């Protein structure tokens, strides 16, 4: 994926995350327990994918800034990205 494709995917996921959070608030007022659980699970998947995509985009930018080929960047697995310390 090039930078534009990564950025577009990030934006799609951020929109989905916002929708899920809005749905979550609406469902909290109803008896949508099963749907809340499914949405919470998807929200976690979205969060992890966003972390991975941001990591990948940062790698591409760093390689480019160092005069190297940004296509040398690799998507890291969720476990690696989620274990980073802030």
Tell me the per-residue pLDDT of 5-49, one tens digit each, with 9 for 90 and over: 999 999 999 999 999 888 777 766 665 677 777 888 899 999 999
Domain spans in the chain, listed from the N-terminal domain onward: 3-81
Host H or E run for residue 55: helix 33-65
CA 10 to chain centre: 6
Q: Measured between alpha carbons, how far is 41 from 74 in angstroms, rounded to an integer?
A: 26
Tokens of 24: 């979550």
Q: What is the DSSP letter of 68?
A: S
Of the candidates 6, 20, 10, which has an alpha carbon nearest to the alpha carbon of residue 64? 6
Global pTM? Answer: 0.83
- Pick from 77, 34, 29, 83: which is nearest to 53 by CA? 77
């Amino acid at each position: 994926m090039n930078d534009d494709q990564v950025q577009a995917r990030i934006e799609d996921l951020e929109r989905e995350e916002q929708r899920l959070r809005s749905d979550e608030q609406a469902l909290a007022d109803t008896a949508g327990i099963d749907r809340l659980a499914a949405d919470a699970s998807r929200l976690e998947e979205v969060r992890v994918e966003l972390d991975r995509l941001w990591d990948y985009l940062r790698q591409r930018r760093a390689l480019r800034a160092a005069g190297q080929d940004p296509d040398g960047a690799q998507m890291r697995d969720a476990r690696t990205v989620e274990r980073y310390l802030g």
